A and B are shown apart, each in its own frame.
Chain A
Amino acid sequence: MSVLQEISPNVKNIKQSEYEVLASRASQIEKELSQGVRKPYKELIDVCWCDPHSVGVKPLTFVRQVLAACVYPQLMKSHELPLDVRQRAQWLLGRCDGGSVGSYNAQPCIPEIIEKVSEFTTRRDGGVPSYPENIFISTGSQWAIMDILNVLVNSEASPKTGVLTPAPCHVTSMMSITALGAAAVPYYLTEEQGWTLQVEELQRALESAKGVCNPVALYVINPGNPAGLVQSRKSMQEVIRFASEKRLFLLADEVYQDFVYGENREFVSYKRVLAEMGPPYSDTVELVSFHSTSKGFMGECGMRGGYVELVNLDPAVQKHIFKLISKSSCTPVLAQMALDLMVNPPQPGDPSYPLYNQQTQHIKNMLAQNVKTTHEVLNSLPGVISQPVEGGAFVFPRVFLPPKAIQKAEEEGMQPDTFYCVRLLEETGVLCCPGSEFEQKEGTYHIRFCITASQDIVKEVLRHLTTFHTKFMKDFS
């Protein structure tokens, strides 16, 4: 018997992702395709994640030019690269120990970049002050969420530490909660009203935790994932008041803040709303907000970078967070630089500005178009209802699966929407995530796919989905 037979129960408890079923089937199909097996498609289209570069969105030229020059400083000698690129690379390298991106540069991060981040959030939040000592670099928001949860959660506690989480909620945050020995307490977003967050539901969720676990935190995702909601200021104020009253630590996952589409919708940060509410809330509600270089116009998921901003935390606790993060020292230097480029992009007048502006505009237009097209097409399909996507990277339509299909799924030992997605994959080569991944309401089924892809790819996905769905509904009627 293996020494390792007995492993951490927290690890064992992490739910096996539904996506794994699809992923292994997808690798199989890829192998078959490469061996020349005939299929109705030549390659797979994976729109499961928000991974823009993998689905036809180009990296921003300015970003990549600066990073290349930082990696290989010889490039700064030629005039091939625009002046502002060379200047920025020089500035960034000047902040690195030994002038190299290969140094650790972790204290826990290049201080000047932290300053730039705090300037960015101050600007973004209409002047609400932001302090560098409250900002920490992260190796992507998922890593940061786990680090912060690690401080909050006492894995030995009985009853378990609880975290209120939205339902639906994206997978990795749920996994982190389980991995740390905490319990997720779902609060259901109201699908019929565009996935809005109702305070009464927060209350119900909190009540349901009595005797089961000890809730200490409230996790919100705004703009949402997978649900495409963008919270109104009023809703955010309600959440803050609730957190304050019930003494909950607020975790605000705001990585999709650049993706807002709804009419009369804008992104406002939790930090700003909190500050604008004034005392006692602004001085007391403890808040951690998360941002990342993976999303937004840069879409640099592979770099693994982001930051965390802490508000109203006990200074002694903050010291421990600092210590934990400096022990990790895991944020790549290139990611730190990508962060600088995100919070401090080219400005009008800079040589790179025209191209930068053109590229970001293109992405904005692409997204707006994708939101429109997906909404129209999905809602035209019988048995599919898709809420308006106000923000975020995904559509999350509800699919009303016929009883025969549900039965077949059960026979095959799969969740009904996983079964739907597997069939979709096998017949069209399109990979979407099943809603059962995301803690959807019992008895409802959804699929999730990203709209942060080129218009061509989104159109093709919709074309395949339409054909497939029509056939599927007929086959199982």
Chain B
Amino acid sequence: MNHGTALLWKRRALSSLSATRRGLPKEKMTENGVMSRAKVLTIDTINPTVKKVEYAVRGPIVQRAVELERELSQGMKKPFAEVIKANIGDAHAMGQQPITFFRQVLALCSYPELLSDNTFPEDAKSRACRILQSCGGHSMGSYSASQGIDSVRKDVARYIERRDGGVPCDPDDIYLTTGASDGIVTMLKLLVSGEGATRTGVMISIPQYPLYSAALAELGAVQINYYLNEDKCWSMDIPELQRALDEAREYCNPRALCIINPGNPTGQVQSRECIEDVIRFAAKERLFLMADEVYQDNVYADGCQFHSFKKVLFEMGPEYSETVELASFHSTSKCYMGECGFRGGYMEIINMDNEVKAQLTKLVSVRLCPPVPGQALMDLVVNPPQPGEPSYDSFIKERTATLSALAEKAKLTEQVLNTVQGISCNPVQGAMYSFPRITIPEKAVKEATEQGQQPDMFYCMKMLEETGICLVPGSGFGQKDGTYHFRMTILPPTDKLKILLDKVKEFHQKFTQQYS
């Protein structure tokens, strides 16, 4: 080879090397010799953490459910008349009614000309005026401050003080968010740092609400699993927390501990002692506590009570209350409101270093502000009608009806599922879901594995195709190896829920028989 050709080859090799270094896929030759342009953005060049993100609640099973709905509406014959989406905690979608007062105020805020309409009660009107006064140009269409409307944050602080028996709350510690999910992800964004062995690790309960694992994957944080104790009604076990932490310290820097109370998907309501133990653990191990308390009004079981992490923290005295760093999250999506579509939420930040808080404030300003209607709704949630006000009676009536219906359905679900051989359901103490354990016959496990599916996904897919009931397989939430579960909401109206539970029973028996 002469010198010139060698140089040419070298140059070509170098340029292709730099293209590879740049992460650009090279031009490809198609079969007919035409250069097909490779894209700038391909699976190989996108952010690698994005690829790892999975979100079971809206994953493949839901996509199939949507397909089936379409097929049904096109007249295709199925063994069921409708698809029932018992997969997502969406109360209104399942027929729960909104609180009239809230909707009245929000309508007045949307179209203030209605203030002259006599069909609206006076207290709704005065609430609307108060909210509009705190909006730029008296319109919900104006941007608000990034941390949220001042007067709403003050109202949230007062609500928290009342809820926690007088434990003080500083409105400056309140950040309004776009649903609780936004607050959670923002905190995680703030926290996650380090590289390799110092990469931030975040402890999450297994089973968990998949937002956490998805966010951690996206941020490239290390997920540290601690198992809830199924035999003890999904309670938290300090020795298990310790085990998870100690193991994780070998390969990452654990800095935060996430708790969902009342639990999702498990429905457990943690006891006060348990919460104290967790706080002590976090203090000892220097972990930032993230308490997801969006289901705080959804407590059904006798002997169970919601204890806010903040209240317990403060009642443990200054040794803890002045040192443990905590963020608690709430939302307008659950409880008795069920207003998922408004994307209202807040987080309370306790004992955060001031400089870090300034960084948090800076971070939230990047998205400008949370949706103003959601902020307005949150204001109503923390500031509902009071005794003596015109709307009080109907408000209480509606709230009580919704919460007691949920309590009834929680009980019903536990009862019916426990009559099925091969299904074992812990009491649904709170939240909106049952998370029963199911026995899947070996043959089915084998078939699932051959098809490359998790056995409980296989089970749930079959259930969907045969009954139209859409559930989320336990593998989407995490579970102990060798165990299988599904998550089903308790939201459908009672009579429909009864039918659903019977169908689930029927299917399970049939499935077990088929694969025995």
Contact = CB atoms under 8 A, between A and B. Distances in A.
B359 interface: yes
Nearest to A178: B366
A314 B41 contact: yes
Contacts of A140: 367-368
Interface of B: 22-24, 37, 39-43, 45-51, 53-55, 58, 62, 66, 88, 90-96, 98, 103-104, 106-108, 110-111, 114, 117, 119, 135-137, 139-144, 178-179, 181-182, 189-194, 211, 214, 218, 220, 255, 286-288, 325, 337-343, 351-353, 355-356, 359, 362-363, 365-374
A360 interface: no
Interface stretch (A115-123, A257-265, A331-339, A348-356): A331-339
Given A2-B325, A5-B355, 11 more contacts: A64-B111, A100-B98, A100-B341, A102-B91, A102-B342, A142-B368, A247-B24, A248-B40, A323-B55, A327-B55, A330-B179
Contact of A154 (B48, B62, B353): B48
Contacts of B182: 330
A54 B372 contact: no
26 contacts: A3-B286, A3-B287, A5-B356, A8-B191, A11-B362, A14-B366, A51-B143, A53-B137, A65-B111, A68-B114, A72-B103, A72-B104, A98-B90, A100-B93, A105-B93, A151-B41, A175-B365, A176-B366, A301-B141, A302-B369, A304-B343, A304-B372, A317-B43, A320-B53, A327-B211, A332-B373
A2 B353 contact: yes
Contacts of A335: 371
Given A71-B110, A286-B39, A317-B42, A150 B190 contact: no
A179 B366 CA distance: 9
Contacts of B24: 247
Contacts of B54: 323
A287 B47 CA distance: 17
Interface in A1-23: 2-9, 11-12, 14, 16-17
A105 to B, nearest CB: 6
B341 A9 contact: no
Contacts of B92: 97-98, 100, 102-103
B353 A97 contact: no
Contacts of A105: 93, 341
Contacts of A331: 343
A302 B143 contact: yes
A68 B111 contact: yes
A239 B54 CA distance: 36
Residue from the set B95, B368, B370 with the largest chain A CB neighbour count within 10 Å = B368
Contacts of A68: 107-108, 110-111, 114
A153 B45 CA distance: 9
Contact of A302 (B104, B135, B342): B135
A140 B62 CA distance: 26
B141 A302 contact: yes
A335 B141 CA distance: 10
A71 B110 CA distance: 9
Given A98-B92, A100-B98, A152 B46 contact: yes
A8 B363 CA distance: 11
A71 B103 contact: yes
A157 B24 CA distance: 13
A102 B339 contact: yes
Contacts of A143: 367
A101 interface: yes
A176 B366 CA distance: 7
A7 B106 contact: no
B368 A11 contact: no
Contact of B340 (A12, A104, A108, A312): A104
Nearest to A12: B359
A49 interface: yes
B97 to A, nearest CB: 8
Contacts of B287: 3
Interface string A148-177: 001111111100000000000000100110
Contacts of A206: none
A206 B438 CA distance: 58
Given A6-B194, A53-B136, A317-B42, A97 B90 contact: yes
B58 A327 contact: yes
Contact of A332 (B90, B211, B214, B341): B341
Given A247-B24, A299-B141, A302-B139, A286 B41 contact: yes
B477 to A, nearest CB: 15
B178 A151 contact: no
Interface in A100-147: 100-108, 139-140, 142-143, 146
Contacts of A72: 103-104, 106-107
Given A49-B143, A150-B50, A152-B47, A332 B371 contact: yes
A103 B339 CA distance: 6
A153 B49 CA distance: 10
Question: Lowest 10 A-B CB distances belong to which pairs?
Answer: A54-B136, A302-B372, A333-B341, A97-B93, A72-B107, A68-B111, A53-B139, A2-B353, A100-B92, A102-B339
A303 interface: yes
